[in-house]
Amino acid sequence: MQTISNAIQINHCLLKTVLQNAKLVIDATCGNGLDTLFLAENSPVAKIYAFDIQPAAVENTKQQTLPYKNKITYICDSHSNVKKYIKQIPIDVAVFNLGYLPGASHLIMTHTKTTLETLDIMRQLLKTNGIISITAYPGHTEGKREYNALLNYTKAMDKHTYTVGWYQLHNHIDAPALCWIEKQG
């Protein structure tokens, strides 16, 4: 049995504190709605925007989060279009859980170019002390490309403007990895 936490569990532990006072939260890849549900349950005063490009994913998320539907806006579109939908900036927390929708086609997934372009936009919209968390999956080909690109992208971020940390189980091959980005004042 694994008792050391994986990337998603660590992400949720870290997010719990920052969600307490968050007003604007984005689930950039809502999928089956598990992360959106977690965000809704743990952010007492936030408005949440949940994005996914797949109608089935948005529908799954709606079903998963029914008790919280009044605080969530569900958007079937790419997270790269975030500015089209969100006028009330800055963003407190943005969560990316990359890859493909579990139980659906593995041909539809996040892609390196769009992910990096969206991060460029999202970090401009982020408030001081705001958080972007990214769970990346190097265990499949595009996921590995995306993970390596993210390592380079985040390494190059100005340390006076952003603090970046990574967490990954070290002795598991290609384990999911958590990237945590905090915007500095």
- Nearest Cα neighbor of 93 from 125, 131, 56 is 131
CA distances to 27, 99, 123, 171 from 142, rounded to whole Å, are: 21, 8, 23, 22
Q: Which of 34, 39, 126, 178 binds ligand SAM (CB under 6 A)?
A: 34
178 in Cβ contact with 7 (< 8 Å) = yes
Task: Put residue 129 in one of left, alpha, beta given phi > 0 → left and psi -120 to 50 → alpha.
Answer: left
**Residue number, 135 or 154, with CB nearest to ligand SAM:** 135
Site for ligand SAM in 121-160 (CB under 6 A): none
135 in Cβ contact with 178 (< 8 Å) = yes
What track of x and - describes contact with ligand SAM for positions 56 through 95 (by CB under 6 A)?
-x--------------------xxx---------------
Rounded least distance, CB 37 to ligand SAM, Å:
8
**Residue number, 77 or 89, with CB nearest to ligand SAM:** 77
**Two tokens, residue 90:** 């800055």
* Number of residues near ligand SAM (by CB under 6 A): 23
What 3-state DSSP class applies to 43?
A: coil
**Residue number, 32 or 154, with CB nearest to ligand SAM:** 32
**Residue number, 34 or 94, with CB nearest to ligand SAM:** 34
Of 15-23, 28-36, 126-134, 141-149, the segment contacting ligand SAM by CB under 6 A is 28-36
Is 110 a binding residue for ligand SAM by CB under 6 A? The answer is yes
Is 12 a binding residue for ligand SAM by CB under 6 A? The answer is no
Percent helix / strand / coil, the chain, rounded to 5 = 40, 25, 35
Count of other CB atoms within 10 angstroms of residue 27: 30
Rounded least distance, CB 107 to ligand SAM, Å:
10
Contacts to ligand SAM by CB under 6 A: 29-35, 51-54, 57, 78-80, 97, 99-101, 108-110, 114
